[in-house]
Structure 1
Amino acid sequence: MEVVKRSGKREKLDINKIRIALEFAFKGLNVDPLELETDAQIQFRDGITTEEIQAVLIRTAAEKVSPETPDWQYAAARLLLYDLYKKVAHIRGYEVRDELSKDYRPYNVEGFYNFVKKYVQEGIYGDYLLKHYSEEDFKELSKHIKPERDLYFNYTGIKILADRYLARNEDGMVIELPQEMYMLISMTLAIPERQEERVKWAKEFYDLLSEHLITVATPTLMNARRPFTQLSSCFILTVDDDLYDIFDNVQKAAQISKHAGGLGIYLGKLRATGAPIRKFKGASSGVIPVVKVINDVMTYVDQLGMRKGSASITLDIWHKDILDFLEVKTNAGDERKKAHDIHPAISIPDIFMRRVANREKWTLLDPYYTKNVRDGKNLEDLWGEAFEEEYLRLERELPKEAKKEVDAFDLWKRLLTVAFETGEPYIFFRDHANKKNPNKHAGVVYSSNLCHEIVQNMSVTRHLSRELNQETGEITYRKQSGDVVVCNLGSINLGKVHTKETMEKVVPKLVRLLDNVIEMNYYAIPEAQYTNKRYRAIGIGVSNYHYCLVKNGIQWESEEHLRFTDRLFELIAFYAVKGSMELAKERGKYRLFEGSDWSRGIFFGRKIEEIEENSRENGNNLPWKELSEEVREHGMRNAYLIALMPTGSTSLILGATPSIDPIFAKYYKEENMSGILPQVPPEIDRFFWHYKSAYHIDQEWVIRAAAVRQKWIDQAQSLNLFIDPEKIDGPKLSKIYQLAWELGLKTIYYLRSKSITDIEECESCAV
């Protein structure tokens, strides 16, 4: 009986060769290779391919994953790696196995430079790699590649990496291996470093990534090393009440989506249905038609057929069109007013939450009538006391056609009912967000991004002039850029980095890496570049939070959890600020530093004395006052630092629990573009009784833990809530959301229900 090899060559079936692959896969794991051979039941036949044999072994090993035998996920991963090594070696023309020594050399280290050079010429990799690194640099860096770190991957991780992230040639075949990917990403992100230190930093970044101490955003993983370095995850647009600006932002949204960016869009400035247009009463169609246009753009610009574009659209709870906006994703009502592919978000001021609690009336206003209410600012440009004063005045003084009175609690109930049915809208508590905005001196925050963890200054672009050259036909448009927020994201793996020593080592390097993302980024629209260079904002998040708790013997529903997370996130905050300050010494502070909270000794919305007292109480005893004085002297490199984003696909790559969420279940099957993948939390066999799944956790503890974390976060958190419809009623749900506001949270993301199975993950924003 003969088998067909990848080269097409036929040779006699040799069972020992299968056992060689199994020996590689099972070394050091608590699994039985004979069990796999028995269960695989390979139907050998003359002419069977080696790939078919390998596929059966991989599939069988993956199907054996369970909480009792989690090591099968690593056995399946190694079988898949073995297959990947063979495929890549065949395409690139080298041997995985040395025929003389019989040793395995899965990576062709000596050929690294020529490999990159070849695929630069073919347009797979960016030519900047060859421009900034010499052949000698490549040789030195190739020696730093550690093939053994591939063994950190579980089956899901290596499957997703191979299917979606590893570079492919024009025929769609994978041509790079995981450690080569990490090295080339690191080389790309080290290019902004001084030439004499570039190789050193490439090695440092490689170790962070390949040791799974950190991960970077999906766009960075995909596009660093590629010709178009669109490395940022998400963008936030502010639309003015002007037809030209509406469709200019539609164009911006299309360009951003084309390059795989996610979108947050604020529409609160647009006049409501029935407002005048050029003094013709009743002419405006309101917000919903614009929402539908954006919805259609997101489905049309489908990112090379891979997936639809994705956008969240935010409207204020006081906007006169809010009732129709709440219904855009429900299945009942007028289909002409629906937009099923966008993600609605509601911006809520403190005064509304108080009126809900007191069962008072609430007045919806038309933004057409709320312009220039104070110092040239519109109502939506104000927050806190200034907003409340003007809102109360307008509520009294505006004409009847400009407002509509509703019951605040009825509106709140409708919002929660829609969330219960659809998982959305997202919630943005605007007063909390602006009060604790470290750059409130330079702007206002109207809304958040697609995944609701980014809270940064926003503003509209001003359209200045349009000129025609009558001789040449050339048309010139002049604009004054507003602030288009850009998300530059990376996350810390708390499963490996949670002590003072590891935080001190890792966090400043992550700050540096993300600052380099800003330099290497390709910008789909110029406004994004303008804002990114002014603020140099980054977002540091986390993955493996639940595993970190379990690993340290801490139950989710406990006061000990709150104390632990207080200490943990203080460490992240301290070393993020310190890292940004040290970088400012070297590279200069961000342009708008003077006048910021950072410059005035106010960190995370709190005075430095309060922070030092907090640090003493939790036992960290970190020198915040000393750091504050250094910040005052040297500045900060980055205007914003910390934002806890979702870590969907990259958590799967690391084999980590996602972001700050509790586990979904102790065993389940993840269904995505890579197929149906078995999932168990880290070390489930060791900590089976310590893990508690999301739907069994009292969500008040989720809120309370988030409130403790928020003390150390200058932006926000993609905070999911998990409910079992059979165990929760309306008053209980309302209490959970109201508690989030009372404890100072800035955002709430999805309301995940056991009855909702089709919630769309945030791919653009996920880290």
Structure 2
Amino acid sequence: MKVIKRSGRREELDISKIRIVIDFACAGLDVDPLELEMDAQIQFRDNITTREIQQLLIRTAAEKVSPETPDWTYVAARLLLYDLYKDVGHLRGYKVKDKINGKYRPYNPESFYHLIKTYTDRGIYGGYLLENYTKEEIDQLAQYIKPERDLLFNYTGIKVLSDRYLVRDEEGRIIELPQEMYMLIAMTLGIAEKKEERLEWVKKFYDVLSQHYVSLATPTMMNARRTHTQLSSCFVLTVDDDLYDIFDNVQKAAQISKFAGGLGIYLGKIRATGAPIRKFRGASSGVLPVVKIINDVMVYVDQLGMRKGSASITLDIWHKDVLDFLEVKTNVGDERKKAHDIHPAVAIPDLFMERVRRREKWTLMDPYYCKKVKDGKNLEDFYGKEFEEVYLRLEKELPPYAKREVDAWELWKRLLTVIFETGEPYIFFRDTANYLNPNKHCGMVYSSNLCMEIIQNMSVTTHEEDILEEDGRITHRKRSGDVVVCNLGSINLGLVYTAEDLAKVMPVLVRMLDNVISINFYAIKEAEYTNKRYRAIGIGVSNYHYCLVKNGIQWESEEHIKFADALFERIAYYAIKASCDLAKERGKYPLFDGSDWSKGIFFGRTPEENQQESVKNGNHLDWIGLAKEVKEHGLRNGYLLAVMPTGSTSLIIGATASVDPIFAKFYKEENMSGILPQVPPEIKKYFWHYKSAYHIDQEWSIRAAAARQKWIDQSQSFNLYIDPEKIDGPTLSHLYQLAHQLGLKTVYYCRSKSITDIEECESCST
């Protein structure tokens, strides 16, 4: 049988060469190499290419993955890596085998500087790498790269990484290897460090990334080292009831989406259908046309053809257009009012939940008639008791054409029906979010981001004047509002969860995320203004379910609730401590004074209350001492903790996603990289300990989320998992009401076995 080599030369098939590759892939794993050889060989044919042989081996190994034989995923990964090593070596002009001693050497440190220089000159890597690092420093970092860490990847991990994250040249060929990618990301983030300390920090950044202790958000992983360092994940816009501002925000949304940012957009200030325009009653088309415009912009600005733009749009439950808004993604009704490519979200105050509980009436209002109702503020500018006071007054005083009375329970049922059918809208409990906002001294929160984990101050941008110069130049002046920016990273709880480990890893992650803010490319200036005032970051987690399982904890147990409470207390403590230590070195964030942090109030509790909680948890952390330290030195970052979805990057590091339970003990994930076999970490060892999402009583998930929320200053991308055949309306209502009662700020998707087209946000994925 003849084979065709990569060079195009034909030669006899040499099984011994194939065995060398198979032996490399199977070394140290619980698999039979002969089984792979025999099963793959059946599919060989005359004139098969060596590349096809390699692909056959990879596919055959991947098809063998099961809960009983999970190690085949590492065999497939090594085979794919072998292919990658040869391709990159061929492209860059070096051999992966040493000609003198025949030893296998996939990485060539001597070529690292040449890689950076070549592709900087070609405009693929950013020029800042060579501007900030000498050849000697790059050579030193090249020698520090640890090729053996590639063996940490499973098949899905290396497949997703190579298909979507590793940088390619103009012809679509991969130019860098996984460990080089991690080093280049570390070098990019290290630019914010002092010159004399830079290399040491780069090595620390590389270590936590390459050992999978932490993950960074998809935009950071993709864009660090590229020409445009747009490293932030998600942005939240606040749209004013003004035509100029509406279309200014449409433009902002397009620019943000162009650079792969996800969007949250609050439209609650826009007047309802039939509201006056320049005192002509009945003239306004309401919110729905704006929703459709944003929908079309997200489809049009498709992020270099990789995927559509993504935006969630939030409206208040009291907005007069809310009933039409609930139907934007359903398959019934007027198609002219549909927007199938955005993600609706509803902001709900405590008062509405109270009316639902009491089966009382609820009044929908037109924001046009709710302006400057108290102290120059609009109705939506209040929360809690103040909101309730103003709302009750308007309920009585507004003329009939400015409001509409509905049954609160019927509106709630309609909301839940749409959630049951489509998995959305997302839910934002606005009063809880604002009560616990540590920066309420300088703003408020109207909505969350695309994935419902970011809770930060928001405000509109005001447009002042256009100035016409004599030479025809027109300058538009505006005063920036707060455009929320999310800078995300996550801790791998499968490897890092003890106090000792968190104390080591957290300062490195906080520093990396703070550096993102310093070196970031901003698609719009308002984002830069807000990011530098608050220096907000969002630290989340992955591998939560695996962490429970390896500690012998069942999901549906009181032990789980206690474990979650104690674990997230440790995460919070070391995150705050790391940000405080960074503030000592770099200064506190500009708006620190007057914040809850500055008063020693963390998560709405006094230092003494947090100390008591810590004793109950068994952590015995010094919250009183930490509060004193924060009061004295400040915090570097105005927001710290946010549990985001970790879809893509969980796949890369072989972790269970975010704080979600596993989907199944074995399934095939279908995404841009094809059909990928999935088994949870150490499934063979812990097969009976894992319980899949749709078999879990969701009350336990809500209770665990509430225990975590106690220690999170922002929110969580918290999903509910329901089986349509086993759930009814009252049960679903109970779950959402329980989420509100227990203090959750947001609920993300309601995932159902019958809904197969739910999109995972890649922007927030870490």
TM-score, normalized by the shorter chain, greater than 0.5: yes
Shift of 1:47: 3.0
**Partner of residue 80, structure 1:** 80
Shift of 1:10: 3.4
Asked if 1:604 corresponds to 2:606, the answer is no
**Partner of residue 476, structure 1:** 475
Distance 2:202 2:341 in 1: 40
Asked if 1:282 corresponds to 2:282, the answer is yes
Distance 2:504 2:561 in 1: 24
| Contact 1:42 1:56 (C-alpha < 8 Å) held by counterparts | no
Write the mapping of 1:29-178 to structure 2, written as runs, cut at 5 A: 29-178=29-178
Asked if 1:253 corresponds to 2:253, the answer is yes
Bigger CA drift: 91-100 or 180-189? 91-100
Shift of 1:45: 4.0
**Partner of residue 654, structure 2:** 655
Distance 2:307 2:19 in 1: 40
* Secondary structure of the corresponding residue to residue 602 of structure 1: coil
Shift of 1:99: 2.2
Shift of 1:631: 0.3
Distance 2:134 2:9 in 1: 38
Asked if 1:575 corresponds to 2:574, the answer is yes
- The percent identity for this pair of structures is 75
**Partner of residue 441, structure 1:** 441
Asked if 1:640 corresponds to 2:639, the answer is yes
Distance 1:644 1:71 in 2: 30
Bigger CA drift: 131-140 or 344-353? 131-140
Map Cα deviations across residues 39-62 of structure 1 (whole Å, 9 max, x no partner). 113444443211010000000000
* Secondary structure of the corresponding residue to residue 702 of structure 2: helix
Shift of 1:200: 0.4
Distance 1:552 1:6 in 2: 48
Shift of 1:530: 0.3
Give the residue type in structure 2 aligned to 1:382.
F
Write the mapping of 1:584-733 to structure 2, written as runs, cut at 5 A: 584-733=583-732
Distance 1:98 1:28 in 2: 23
Distance 1:242 1:12 in 2: 74
Normalised to the residue count of structure 1, the TM-score between the two structures is 0.99
| Contact 1:7 1:90 (C-alpha < 8 Å) held by counterparts | no
Distance 2:554 2:505 in 1: 26
Map Cα deviations across residues 27-74 of structure 1 (whole Å, 9 max, x no partner). 100000111111113444443211010000000000000000000000
Shift of 1:2: 3.4
Distance 1:754 1:626 in 2: 48
**Partner of residue 489, structure 2:** 490
Distance 1:3 1:101 in 2: 26
Shift of 1:13: 2.1
Map Cα deviations across residues 562-614 of structure 1 (whole Å, 9 max, x no partner). 11111110111000000000000000000000000000010011111111000
Give the residue type in structure 1 aligned to 2:659.
I
| Contact 1:671 1:677 (C-alpha < 8 Å) held by counterparts | yes
Distance 1:239 1:124 in 2: 36
Give the residue type in structure 2 aligned to 1:150.
D
Asked if 1:189 corresponds to 2:150, the answer is no
* Secondary structure of the corresponding residue to residue 197 of structure 2: helix
Give the residue type in structure 1 aligned to 2:538.
G
Give the residue type in structure 2 aligned to 1:316.
D
Distance 2:418 2:43 in 1: 52
Distance 2:134 2:533 in 1: 32
**Partner of residue 559, structure 2:** 560
Give the residue type in structure 1 aligned to 2:626.
L
Distance 1:20 1:42 in 2: 18
Distance 2:435 2:41 in 1: 64
**Partner of residue 334, structure 1:** 334
| Contact 1:427 1:749 (C-alpha < 8 Å) held by counterparts | yes
Asked if 1:741 corresponds to 2:748, the answer is no
| Contact 1:6 1:90 (C-alpha < 8 Å) held by counterparts | no
Shift of 1:472: 1.3
Distance 1:508 1:728 in 2: 44
Asked if 1:303 corresponds to 2:339, the answer is no
**Partner of residue 228, structure 2:** 228
Distance 1:597 1:5 in 2: 66
Q: What root-mean-square deviation, in Å, do the aligned CA atoms of Structure 1 and Structure 2 show? A: 0.8
Normalised to the residue count of structure 2, the TM-score between the two structures is 0.99
**Partner of residue 501, structure 1:** 500
Shift of 1:100: 2.0
**Partner of residue 514, structure 2:** 515
Map Cα deviations across residues 313-363 of structure 1 (whole Å, 9 max, x no partner). 000000000000000000000111100100000000000000000000000
Distance 1:739 1:600 in 2: 31
Asked if 1:294 corresponds to 2:294, the answer is yes
| Contact 1:6 1:87 (C-alpha < 8 Å) held by counterparts | no
| Contact 1:366 1:403 (C-alpha < 8 Å) held by counterparts | yes
Shift of 1:304: 1.3
Write the mapping of 1:353-432 to structure 2, written as runs, cut at 5 A: 353-432=353-432
* Secondary structure of the corresponding residue to residue 713 of structure 1: coil
Distance 2:12 2:695 in 1: 55
Give the residue type in structure 1 aligned to 2:515.
N
Distance 1:396 1:45 in 2: 82
Shift of 1:7: 2.5
Shift of 1:110: 1.4
Map Cα deviations across residues 669-717 of structure 1 (whole Å, 9 max, x no partner). 0000000000000000000000000000000000000000000000000
Give the residue type in structure 2 aligned to 1:271.
R
Question: Which sections of structure 1, spanning at least 5 residues, go unmatched?
Answer: none
* Secondary structure of the corresponding residue to residue 606 of structure 1: coil
| Contact 1:669 1:678 (C-alpha < 8 Å) held by counterparts | yes
| Contact 1:3 1:10 (C-alpha < 8 Å) held by counterparts | yes
